[in-house]
Structure 1
């Protein structure tokens, strides 16, 4: 049976207590397998056009992670990595409540992954340091991070598009030495923003393309 996104209960709806009870039951019964599967479905809702649905899915994702992390930490680490960038970008969400819960959820993910430095820069919302922390923790994932960021260049929210441009500007730097083809793909995606409705984003994208396309300056011996 195929899973389809459905309307999620909000904290003020009658359905929310059911989810809370489910979390309590899962915590007692250590039903980590079910939680891991459900977390995958929640990730699909992080970018929903409805801010209330975004907030609810992210909040539930956070609660699930906290409830079952000790049951299966290894598998949980694999799952939560997929939520790193969506949560990071939604820290810039135009909805204050979504931005707030995204910050809290990202802190939980950092705790599960045992990335202490990342936890310390989340609360002050140091965007560039968060990006640097993500890349420093696993440089081999830079290309994957870039590809995961591409859909956000077309997001309806200007702050998320801007965050994606800035992230790609840092994450794509290693591609100058690793893969000219992949770098060209990133630059092409950024160039598509030359007709963006936001002037500042158009300018930022152009500057980022220029920076990535410029020859790397080799340090003097």
Structure 2
């Protein structure tokens, strides 16, 4: 517990200070503090994950109107990790993550996303985010990729499913990112101890490879047709 004391003490102190400020002052402080909290979302200790995510959710409620756009930008940056943490093995972290995502949905006025979060329908939440802004597909891939190395099997599986869905939007658009991802999936297939997740990694790799080859072939054919005109 000694190693946790500095982080937990800092979070508790910040929470207490925040409670004594007027909303205008708290909003300004919230914008400066959120990025520091993100680093603790993936802490090894359950209490740090839960406390930092809960505090982030509280900061969303402290945001005044003039700071809402800035807070929305910050929320986009943590959307993936919060959605994935709904698959956390610790019930307290799942609860905190779900509440934080609901708070983000309220900030954006996304009624459907809020309902999906309350039901913990991660697959549909992923589809919703991609439908809202497909240009963020590469960002989603890069943000979910580190979770393929999570010590939690549930997090690895959730990241793999989310990543696979987002990566389908990259085929024919970003070959470098797609190639790096396919390499990572191949490594995951060999190192993964859970047979079902290893099989999912292999299946995801096959689907993305087929999609990449099909798009590449289609582009080549279109190029040939233009050359023949």
How high is the TM-score relative to the length of structure 1? 0.87
When structure 1 is superposed on structure 2, of 106-115 and 198-207 the one drifting more is 106-115
1:141-197: CA deviation from partner (whole Å, max 9, x where unpaired): 000110011110101111111111001110000111212222111111111212111
How far the C-alpha of 1:6 sits from its partner, in A, is 4.2
How far the C-alpha of 1:123 sits from its partner, in A, is 1.1
Contact kept? 1:27, 1:68, Cα under 8 Å:
no
Cα distance between partner residues in 1 of 2:64 and 2:164:
33
Alignment of 1:97-176 (within 5 A): 97-176=92-171
Contact kept? 1:30, 1:71, Cα under 8 Å:
no
Cα distance between partner residues in 2 of 1:69 and 1:98:
27
Q: Which residue of 1 aligns with 2:7?
A: 7
Q: Which residue of 1 aligns with 2:86?
A: 91
Contact kept? 2:144, 2:163, Cα under 8 Å:
yes
Contact kept? 1:92, 1:163, Cα under 8 Å:
yes
Is 2:196 the counterpart of 1:196?
no
Distance 1:148 1:69, change over 3 A: farther
When structure 1 is superposed on structure 2, of 47-56 and 33-42 the one drifting more is 33-42
SS at match of 1:47: coil
How high is the TM-score relative to the length of structure 2? 0.84
- Structure with bigger helix share is 2
How far the C-alpha of 1:128 sits from its partner, in A, is 1.1
Gap regions ≥5 residues in structure 1 = none
When structure 1 is superposed on structure 2, of 39-48 and 172-181 the one drifting more is 172-181
Q: Which residue of 1 aligns with 2:38?
A: 43
How far the C-alpha of 1:21 sits from its partner, in A, is 3.4
Cα distance between partner residues in 1 of 2:36 and 2:6:
10
How far the C-alpha of 1:37 sits from its partner, in A, is 1.4
Cα distance between partner residues in 1 of 2:38 and 2:72:
14
1:207 to 191, 196, 203: 203
When structure 1 is superposed on structure 2, of 151-160 and 33-42 the one drifting more is 33-42
Distance 1:56 1:199, change over 3 A: same
When structure 1 is superposed on structure 2, of 101-110 and 189-198 the one drifting more is 189-198
How far the C-alpha of 1:9 sits from its partner, in A, is 4.0
How far the C-alpha of 1:93 sits from its partner, in A, is 0.5
SS at match of 1:45: coil
Gap regions ≥5 residues in structure 2 = 219-229
Q: Matched residue pairs, number?
A: 209
Distance 1:7 1:20, change over 3 A: closer
Q: Which residue of 2 aligns with 1:65?
A: 60
